[in-house]
Structure 1
Amino acid sequence: MKTCKHLIGLTLAVVILLIPAVSFAADSNISVKLTNYIGNQSSISLSPTGFYQVTGDHVSVTNRFSGASRYETAALASDSQWTNPKTVILVNRDVFIDALPVIPLAKKLDAPVLFTQPDTLTKTTEKQIAKFNPDNILVIGGAKSISKDVENKLKSYGAVKRISGKNRYVLSENIAKQMGNYDKAIVVTGNVFQDALAIAPYAAANGYPILLTEKDKLPDYDLPKQVLIIGSSFSVSDAVENQIKKTSTVQRIPGSTRYELTANIINQLKLKADKAVMTNGTKYADVLVGASLAAKKNSQILYIKQDDVPSAAKSVTKEKASYAYDFIGSTSSISAGVENELSNHFYLAGGSTYNLQINNGKLNLNHIKTYGNSLRIKPETYNESNRISLNGKEYLGTVNFSIESGKYIRPVNENIPFEDYLKGVVPNEMPASWSLEALKAQTVAARTYSITKTGSTVADTTAFQVYGGYSWNANTTKAVQQTKNKVLTYKGNLITAAYSSSNGGYTESSDEVWGSSVPYLTAKKDTKDPQTAWSLTLSKQQINPDSIDVNKPASWFASKNETNAAQLSGIKNWILKNKETGASAIKILKIEDLTFSGTTKGQRAKTATLKVNYAVKQNNGNYEANKTSAMTVPVTELRTMIGASVFKSTYVTVSQNSSAFTISGKGYGHGIGMSQYGAKARADSGDSYSSILKFYYPGTTLTDY
């Protein structure tokens, strides 16, 4: 059905004249195929409010870097980002204290970080270095960490430089000296690896060195004016913080656990985390590889457990709308279950706009990922706080997108609570500014009409009922709430609650339009309908004969169109189907006659006779001129041919003058059942919604479903 807000009231496409008594649950759902406001588009703009997530198998962008050893894992990760780096950095496989400060320098040098054994250059690493063919190799740590023998062997692959220090604190200071000028430094404990590597991607992105400290004693090194301490006072004491404050402005980011720490770093520093590297927070080698990879990719690192995504990390992926994950290590570090959990959904950023488009026959979301033929986006919970805008129109609940006819994106608003569905229908079927009793009558009619479709998918157009998504209005919502569960029945069966915009002052009997007589859809006078008049003029001469050679249609057929071409399209199709079956096109030159005859029970014209003169283009390419054809059809059929938005009802007469036929009518729509404008007038005069329904559906019962 179509909204009378725009003078709507077209004939129902499908009518069930007797609906068996059925029990419907009050919490039933209905799905709606969205075409009315979306149209046929190859791309759709999406904008969520609240928390919406893309769901399905492997919808996130995921990679796993897993080797048989830490050497292989490091090689795989570095091989994914570098081809021929000028510098390669080498660290001891086990001595994490050497590697903690190295990531910012690696970023500065654009160098991958690889592992080796202390006394032997690991074969996997040697092979990777040879593949990279660097100019320089930077060894981190003293000879106890990486021996002179290893250093000498490395010289065959590039110039070797070593950075070392008498202890971890001096080493971190020496690495910092290679960073050049900086106005901020990171201070972390040198006793565990998690704190330094948690902040490493941020430090690398900003060119800040990482300096190690003892818990209760600050080493004797120079600090810049700004210092960021990572970890709680159990890692870096308040005493050390107070000492730093003597020369520098201090910010501290603590964390009660290693997992909370990585989350706190992202949140407190307001870092973008749509892409994240996920590592097991207990595995040094994996964390170092992850930190190096995150620094290179300008992403963030999150610590998780083998079989669980801690709540702190889970919150980050939600709030930051993370959609891409690099997993470091084998399933003994991060299980397949955790990987699947993160790969099978991701949140969209609230307030952001995404573009869903067809790319090579598949759906592509904002260049995030290309999917198959369908993609489902659903709210974290169904409520009014979570909404999604499609091309500027908001909807609640889940939307499933699929490719239609190979070229259009077709959304389906899935499993909407039925009463909420009505809240999206009523303001689009009747102006929300109208009297509440009229709106309540409309609501009951809409509910009765659609309740049998719960559990299925319906159209959002006049082919069923116009559904506007979350275009709720306080007045129409009140009408839905105050009539909750109310439907109309006849002898225990749901009725066909037909309605149109205006009946022109007389309701029509169902058998006159649909061929079946229904006791509650009868013809009778309606004194409250406003009987709004309208007219449609059709020129007699559709193509000026003075501008063409009528007998040579080939010369003008392609360039000339009828004066009322839009209104004659359906008539031409009828002639092609019923009269000129061997033709590909016709042009109507003249309307020679138009008459209406017979009267329905509802005082409407019954039969239309139309005579036209036309030219034909045959399928073989030949043309014929001055052909004449007459058609006799029900006026309802002629209305459909000409267009129900201009030929507004069959409550019509026709007149003519020397140049045109004028169809004059009253009302808008088929006139069966309730007149929406009549309901408004009755409500305005004080009638209750039950009285309005009783008038338009006599003999029916208002009851709960």
Structure 2
Amino acid sequence: MQRVMNACRKVIVVTCVGLMLATLTSCRFWARPAKDMPPVPEVIRRGERMEPVINVYMHETGDIRTMSMEEYLLGVVAAEMAPDWPLEALAAQAIVARTFTLEKIARQGGVPGRNAHASTDIQEFQAYNAERINDQVRQAVQKTRGRVLAYGGKFVRAWFHAYCAGQTSTAADGLAFREFPTPYVKSVTDICPAITPLEEREYSVTFTRAEIIAALRQIGQTPGDFSRVEVLKKDPAGRAVSVRIGRATVSAPALRIALGSTRLRSTKWDRVEADGDRFLFAGTGYGHGVGMCQWGAKARAQRGDNYEVIVKHFFPTATLGTIWD
């Protein structure tokens, strides 16, 4: 009988210890980053598992503000995505924005010429608007606190865009990006067209011959005489990769930037037509089409996907982990 009682006590003790460990390891306090999670960049590192503090150049005033990383992200998420969108979409945006910020600081050390780690100038960094912060944005940033995407021990280049029109592109195709390999950015199909308004899905814009010549000169090309814009290559998502205009052969992403990325919304063109000295581009998509599609994130959140599922869809081989408490 004594042996039976002792055995029972051992079972009870082991069970209790197991339950305690399971409970503790499930708590956020005990969360530890995966083995391939990168450290906080040295220029902003404060200590093990500590949230960094950064200097932000405020483009509107020229001031430099010091704020915690999570405080900064509140204004970024509120500016980059509609604050009334689903919580899980905003949480996905928070992870992408946090990763984007840390990757850029790790690579560049800060914003050149600004004496700051980040900037509110969208030509230099991400958008920022503290006036748009609401409770849902706060909740999205808080629930993803310290969470980032990594690959091979480094922060991923966390690109995002408004609308991919049903399929994203690789960085090489959508951005003509070839500085270093980005194997974590895949071309993936998406459900975004189901919820995106028509005015966001489709566009048409006309450029004059003079505008096209000026844009080509910006990227060091002289087309000579030309009567059409010829798409030489498209990627599997349907985005133009390279274009011939007269004597000039250029990447489609470079041409889009030179012509103005808000006018020429994408490189996913259904038609490119010439009418004398005017050239019509008609297509779908908004943005470069690389990384996370924001309308896709919204669509997935609306159907019940959580933020982890959303970011893993767009960065399928990246690791999601926590680097500060």
Tell me the TM-score range normalised by the shorter chain: 0.7 to 0.9
1:417 paired residue number: 68
From 178, 194, 215, the equivalent of 1:570 is 215
1:478 paired residue number: 139
2:170 paired residue number: 509
- Which one-letter code corresponds to 2:201 in the other structure? T
Contact 1:595 1:654 survives alignment (8 Å): no
Q: What TM-score comes out, normalization by structure 2 length?
A: 0.72
Contact 2:228 2:274 survives alignment (8 Å): no
Q: Helix, strand or coil for the counterpart of 1:416?
A: strand
Relative contact order higher in (CA < 8 Å, ≥ 6 apart): 2
1:488-530 CA-to-partner distances (Å, cap 9, x unmatched) read 2224432222111111211111232212442220112223344
Structure 1 residue 447 displacement after superposition: 0.8
Q: What TM-score comes out, normalization by structure 1 length?
A: 0.35
- Which one-letter code corresponds to 1:499 in the other structure? F
1:252 paired residue number: none
1:67-102 CA-to-partner distances (Å, cap 9, x unmatched) read xxxxxxxxxxxxxxxxxxxxxxxxxxxxxxxxxxxx
2:99 paired residue number: 448
Compared CA separation, residues 634 and 473, structure 1 to 2 (3 A): same
Contact 2:227 2:274 survives alignment (8 Å): no
Structure 1 residue 578 displacement after superposition: 4.7
Structure 1 residue 579 displacement after superposition: 4.6
Contact 1:594 1:654 survives alignment (8 Å): no
Contact 2:203 2:282 survives alignment (8 Å): yes
Q: Helix, strand or coil for the counterpart of 1:535?
A: strand
More helix by share: 2
Structure 1 residue 698 displacement after superposition: 0.3
Matched, 1:22 2:39: yes
Contact 1:596 1:653 survives alignment (8 Å): no
- Which one-letter code corresponds to 2:177 in the other structure? W
Structure 1 residue 653 displacement after superposition: 3.5
1:84-123 CA-to-partner distances (Å, cap 9, x unmatched) read xxxxxxxxxxxxxxxxxxxxxxxxxxxxxxxxxxxxxxxx
Compared CA separation, residues 411 and 519, structure 1 to 2 (3 A): same
The runs of 5 or more residues in structure 1 that have no matched partner are 1-18, 39-389, 391-409, 543-561, 581-587, 612-629
1:598 paired residue number: 233
Structure 1 residue 657 displacement after superposition: 5.5
- Superposed, which structure 2 residues align to 1:63-74 within 5 Å? none
Contact 2:271 2:281 survives alignment (8 Å): yes
Aligned residues, how many? 262
- Superposed, which structure 2 residues align to 1:72-87 within 5 Å? none
Q: Counterparts of 2:74 and 2:56 in 1: how far apart (Å)?
A: 13
From 493, 496, 501, the equivalent of 2:157 is 496
Q: Counterparts of 1:525 and 1:674 in 2: how far apart (Å)?
A: 11
Larger CA Rg, structure 1 vs 2: 1
Matched, 1:459 2:128: no
2:317 paired residue number: 699
Q: Counterparts of 1:427 and 1:678 in 2: how far apart (Å)?
A: 17
- Which one-letter code corresponds to 1:451 in the other structure? L
- Superposed, which structure 2 residues align to 1:314-353 within 5 Å? none
Q: Counterparts of 2:294 and 2:245 in 1: how far apart (Å)?
A: 32
1:637 paired residue number: 254
Contact 1:568 1:641 survives alignment (8 Å): no
Q: Counterparts of 2:275 and 2:267 in 1: how far apart (Å)?
A: 24
The runs of 5 or more residues in structure 2 that have no matched partner are 1-35, 111-115
Q: Helix, strand or coil for the counterpart of 2:186?
A: coil
Contact 2:163 2:286 survives alignment (8 Å): yes
Structure 1 residue 654 displacement after superposition: 3.2
2:306 paired residue number: 688
More strand by share: 1
1:668 paired residue number: 286
Structure 1 residue 461 displacement after superposition: 2.4
- Superposed, which structure 2 residues align to 1:14-413 within 5 Å? 21-23=38-40, 25-35=49-59, 38=60, 410-413=62-65
Q: Counterparts of 2:295 and 2:226 in 1: how far apart (Å)?
A: 34
Contact 2:165 2:192 survives alignment (8 Å): no
Contact 1:609 1:632 survives alignment (8 Å): yes
Q: Counterparts of 2:318 and 2:242 in 1: how far apart (Å)?
A: 31
Q: Counterparts of 2:185 and 2:217 in 1: how far apart (Å)?
A: 34
1:562-602 CA-to-partner distances (Å, cap 9, x unmatched) read 5xx5x65423445xx5559xxxxxxx9x8622111112243
